[in-house]
């Protein structure tokens, strides 16, 4: 197995095994960190020698990786300076110079970086950049692995993508999830359970949830919501609606797969409402792994601007009327949820289709074989996604009138200006000055 363009005379041992460094910022609970973990474990299980290098080794994934026998190395230096302060460049350079030494000592064949453009620190190793958002694309990389077709389409308006660029989604450890299935959370008997899971950040949810949840509760009498990691502002607003009393379970974020498995096992449908959209959508793929349909909304991007926040891969993962439903306005979300609540067979069919899609496209075995095959042959399919994307943009539950849409968008702007923006400012001050996190539930 010889990656094309490598400057090493030999990049694999006699058995074809590689020495690979998985590199990232930290070992927290986010999707990027989950992907780095699953790449490391998957490559390790296939016989390759893998080590993980990070700037900050705190977080739950360190223990998981070490339990597999994968070494985790924290680079020297003060990684806090990397993201703030006047020492940003020098501190980053200082830390990454340690990586150069590790690459040489480990005799690494490949450095696989997750969203960090670090080609200059990789020596002779073949540098692979995981493109997680637009500004993590690396023109100088030996290869760019873009995590969705939607992100590649967005990038095509910024960069001239070529043969060294390929789309490979985040790996889903289906076998591991299947081992810990079976246990459920306690909810009222005979409930139709709608779940939301994500970090306690407004970017990971949306005003659409606030406007839709009370209407869903009025329409579906046996509904019960499980909201994991919902920001405090959202919890307080939802608490003002009498119709939601006793119909919501709020849970804190968890790093334990067993806790996540209980959530996915309990829900009937995953409700995805990230306000900026997703470059992949790991939570969506996980829910589909558990055979759960997904209701999401479209967040179109314009393309052509590196700093544009919007992404829209969720409508790539969720095939409307196949693995779930796309609904962009409150009335349409209510309709989508009512359709599913009224038809358990449809819920099962959507769930089965989602599980099949994950097994065929996103399972760890499939993704890592694609990854290694691309590195060996330097060829791979990156289809033109534009026509498919445009079709998906127009394919949704769409029963809302123009006036309803206008009123909703006006309310959303008012909410962002007068509630969410001040909330974020206050939260930032409390975190930075007083070291107090208001998102931790008491």
291-327 pLDDT per residue, tens = 999 999 999 999 888 889 999 999 999 999 999 999 9
Query: Which residue is associated with the tokens 């052509």?
Result: 304
- Between 5 and 144, the more confident residue is 144
CA quadruple 273, 353, 259, 195: dihedral positive or negative?
positive
The mean pLDDT of 388-403, rounded to a whole number, is: 96
Q: For residue 250, list its beta bridge partners.
A: 227
Task: Count other C-beta atoms under 10 Å from residue 234's C-beta.
Answer: 22
Cβ–Cβ under 8 Å, residues 240 and 217: no
Nearest to 222 by CA among 188, 251, 197, 177: 188
| Over residues 192-216, mean pLDDT | 96
Domain boundaries, the chain: 19-175+367-377, 176-362+386-393
User: What pLDDT score does 246 carry?
Assistant: 96
Q: Confirm whether 19-175+367-377 and 176-362+386-393 share one CATH topology.
A: yes
The confidence score (pLDDT) of residue 12 equals 55
What's the whole-number mean pLDDT along residues 199-225?
96
Instruction: Collect all residues with Cβ–Cβ distance below 8 Å to 133 and sequence separation of at least 6.
Output: 115, 151, 279, 311
- pLDDT surpasses 60 at 90: no
Q: pLDDT tens for residues 229-241?
A: 999 999 999 999 9
CATH number of 19-175+367-377: 3.40.50.2000
- Residue 110 bridge partners (DSSP): 20, 126
Helices of type H across 46-157: 61-67, 88-106, 149-155
Percent of the chain's residues with pLDDT above 90: 81
Residue 80 has pLDDT above 90, yes or no: no
Q: Is the pLDDT of residue 127 over 90?
A: yes
Tell me which of 80-84, 109-113, 272-276, 429-433 is least confident.
Answer: 80-84
Tokens found for residue 136: 């993590």
Name the pTM for this structure.
0.92
The CATH fold assigned to 176-362+386-393 is Rossmann fold (3.40.50)
Cα angle 183, 185, 186; round to 5? 125
The confidence score (pLDDT) of residue 92 equals 63
Residue 9 or residue 210, greater confidence? 210
Q: Please give the pLDDT value at position 303.
A: 87
When pLDDT is averaged across residues 222-227 and rounded to a whole number, the result is 98
For the chain, the straight-line distance linking the first and the last C-alpha, in angstroms and rounded, comes to 53
pLDDT at 2: 43
Above 70 in pLDDT, residue 15? Answer: no
The pLDDT, as a whole number, for residue 13 is 54
Kindly state the average pLDDT of the residues 98-103: 93
Over residues 399-407, mean pLDDT? 96
Rounded average pLDDT over 53-80: 85
Q: Tell which wins on pLDDT, 89 or 385.
A: 385
């Amino acid at each position: 197995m010889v990656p094309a363009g490598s400057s090493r005379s030999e990049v694999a041992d006699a058995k074809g095994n590689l020495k690979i460094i998985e590199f990232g910022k930290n070992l927290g609970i986010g999707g990027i960190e989950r992907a780095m973990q699953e790449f490391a474990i998957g490559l390790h299980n296939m016989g390759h020698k893998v080590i993980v290098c990070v700037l900050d080794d705190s977080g739950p994934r360190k223990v998981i990786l070490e339990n597999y026998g994968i070494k985790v190395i924290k680079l020297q230096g003060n990684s806090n300076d990397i993201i703030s302060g006047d020492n940003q460049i020098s501190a980053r350079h200082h830390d990454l110079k340690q990586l150069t030494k590790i690459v040489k000592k480990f005799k690494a064949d490949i450095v696989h970086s997750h969203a960090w453009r670090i080609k200059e620190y990789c020596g002779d190793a073949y540098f692979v950049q995981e493109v997680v958002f637009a500004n993590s694309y690396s023109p100088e990389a030996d290869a760019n692995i873009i995590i969705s077709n939607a992100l590649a389409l967005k990038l095509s308006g910024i960069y001239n993508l070529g043969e060294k660029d390929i789309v490979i989604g985040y790996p889903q450890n289906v076998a591991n999830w299947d081992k810990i299935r079976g246990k459920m959370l306690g909810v009222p008997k005979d409930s139709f359970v709608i779940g939301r899971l994500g970090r306690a950040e407004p970017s990971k949810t949306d005003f659409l949830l606030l406007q839709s949840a009370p209407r869903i509760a009025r329409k579906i009498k046996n509904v019960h919501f499980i909201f994991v990691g919902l920001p405090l502002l959202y919890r307080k607003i939802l608490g003002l609606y009498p119709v939601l009393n006793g119909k919501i379970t709020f849970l804190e974020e968890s790093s334990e797969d067993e806790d996540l498995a209980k959530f996915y096992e309990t829900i009937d449908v995953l409700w995805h409402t990230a306000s900026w959209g997703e470059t992949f959508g790991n939570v969506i793929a996980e829910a589909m792994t558990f055979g759960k349909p997904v209701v999401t909304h479209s967040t179109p991007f314009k393309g052509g601007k590196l700093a544009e926040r919007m992404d829209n891969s969720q409508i790539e993962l969720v095939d409307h009327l196949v693995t779930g439903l796309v609904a962009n306005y409150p009335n349409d979300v209510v309709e989508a949820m009512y359709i599913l609540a009224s038809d358990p067979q449809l819920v099962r069919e959507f769930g089965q289709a989602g599980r099949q899609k994950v097994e065929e496209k996103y399972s760890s075995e499939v993704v890592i074989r694609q990854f290694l095959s691309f590195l060996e042959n330097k060829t791979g399919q990156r289809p033109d996604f534009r026509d498919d994307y445009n079709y998906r943009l127009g394919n949704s539950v769409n029963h809302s009138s123009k006036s309803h849409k206008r009123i909703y968008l006006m309310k959303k702007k008012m909410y962002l200006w007068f509630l969410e923006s001040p909330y974020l400012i206050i939260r930032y001050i409390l975190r930075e000055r007083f070291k107090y996190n208001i998102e931790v539930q008491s």
